[in-house]
């Protein structure tokens, strides 16, 4: 998640909001301790193993073209804290995210809080304006290399696979970020983290973990197809509603019907990731909160599969998105820039 950097960079916000964020970020950083020190003190072999893996993943990432900088050399104790709360929103009658504009990173569909009550209060205010809202708990976030990001201890508690994919995902943000294109950034980071994590575990001879990553990637791709189809159905619905000037009640009923269809499709296709999205109920904000991690996933995954290695992939993406060009459109419109050279990054 990039919400904290965005909030911290925003001028014109209420001083109290910025001051509270700065204070909480300071508390978070103050709880960070060097991973090597934690390894030396660890009594639980599983925890020690996961901590050791984080340092190995950083080295692996560096060997494969991702500069880790000074991030994830420390772990911050978050065992007694509330996870970072991210408010997201969308119009009720449009599949477009409500965004806040920030220097450096551009428009972002996030506003972050360290307090659940404050996040809920802000979200309730948006609801009163007629917006759909959803609050996401961020497991980790990147400040794009502006700070030496520690890894939250709760990520370590989730085990080796979660820690590995999280570190790789956030390091991708640190190395490539296209301002104003959050779905592209998040989906790309997810695609890269799955491919690199499988390679990482294969290289260590950990077939079981590598297979877990591959299965998660396949489910992610299948879920993306469900969500892509669902997004298309919702966009068609909203366009028709605007053209025919549907009354509110009809739009409510028709929208609920489309969301039921998305859920039934996810269930019938056995996509765990997409099927789980209905746990808190559907609305446009909750749909987009998940969709931005899997929008047109096959397009980006196929692009990576045609590259020699990750450095080449990132160089080509930087060229394709130069001057703010839409990442998805650029990849689709320039097949000559994505032609296969050999099967390095692609074959795994």
pLDDT in tens, 271-284: 766 656 655 578 99
> Quick check: helix, strand or coil at residue 74?
strand
Q: What is the mean pLDDT of residues 149-158?
A: 91
In the chain, what are the domain boundaries?
3-211, 215-348
Alpha carbons within 13 A on the beta-carbon side of 104: 16
Residue of 107 and 330 predicted with greater confidence: 330
Residue 327: pLDDT over 90: yes
The pLDDT of residue 324: 87
Residue of 309 and 14 predicted with greater confidence: 309
Which residue's structure tokens are 């296709």?
269
In this structure, the strands spanning 106-108 and 151-152 are unpaired
What residues does 192 pair with on adjacent strands?
none
The answer to whether 348 and 308 are in contact (CB under 8 A) is no
Residue 37: pLDDT over 70: yes
Range of weakest confidence among 52-66, 76-90, 232-246, 327-341 = 327-341
Average pLDDT, the chain: 86
Q: Rounded to two decimals, what is the model's pTM?
A: 0.88
Name residues whose C-beta falls within 8 Å of residue 187's C-beta, 6 or more positions apart in sequence: 224, 292, 293, 294, 295, 296, 297, 300
pLDDT digits (tens, 9 = 90+) for 183-206: 999 999 999 999 999 999 999 999
How far is the C-alpha of 59 from the C-alpha of 62, rounded, in Å?
Answer: 5
Confidence band (pLDDT; 50, 70, 90) for 221? very high
């Amino acid at each position: 998640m990039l919400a904290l950097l965005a909030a911290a960079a925003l001028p014109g916000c209420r001083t109290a909001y910025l001051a509270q964020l700065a204070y909480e970020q300071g508390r978070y950083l103050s709880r960070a301790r060097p991973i090597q020190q934690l390894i030396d003190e660890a009594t639980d072999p599983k925890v020690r193993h996961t901590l050791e893996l984080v340092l190995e993943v950083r080295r692996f990432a560096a060997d494969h073209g991702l500069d880790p900088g000074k991030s994830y050399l420390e772990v911050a104790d978050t065992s007694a804290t509330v996870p970072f709360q991210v408010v997201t929103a969308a119009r009720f009658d449009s599949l477009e995210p409500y965004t806040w504009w920030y220097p450096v990173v551009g428009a972002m569909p996030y506003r972050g809080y360290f307090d659940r009550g404050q996040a809920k209060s802000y979200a309730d205010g948006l609801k009163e304006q007629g917006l759909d809202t959803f609050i996401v708990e961020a497991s980790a976030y990147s400040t794009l290399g502006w700070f030496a990001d520690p890894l939250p201890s709760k990520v370590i508690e989730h085990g080796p696979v979660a820690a590995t994919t999280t570190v790789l995902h956030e390091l991708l943000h640190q190395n490539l970020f296209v301002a104003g294109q959050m779905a592209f950034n998040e989906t790309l980071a997810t695609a890269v983290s799955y491919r690199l994590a499988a390679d990482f575990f294969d290289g260590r001879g950990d077939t079981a973990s590598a297979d877990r990553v591959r299965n998660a990637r396949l489910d992610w791709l299948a879920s993306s197809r469900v969500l892509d189809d669902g997004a298309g159905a919702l966009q068609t619905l909203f366009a028709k509603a605007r053209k025919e000037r549907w009354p509110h009640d009809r739009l409510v009923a028709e929208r609920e019907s489309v969301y039921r269809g998305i859920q039934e499709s996810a269930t019938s296709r056995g996509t765990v990731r997409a099927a789980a999205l209905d746990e808190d109920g559907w609305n446009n904000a909750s749909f987009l909160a998940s969709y931005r991690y899997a929008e047109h996933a096959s397009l980006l995954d196929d692009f990576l599969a045609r590259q020699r290695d990750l450095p080449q992939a990132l160089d080509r993406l930087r060229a394709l998105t130069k001057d703010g060009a839409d990442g998805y459109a650029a990849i689709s419109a320039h097949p000559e820039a994505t032609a296969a050279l050999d099967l390095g990054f692609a074959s795994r």
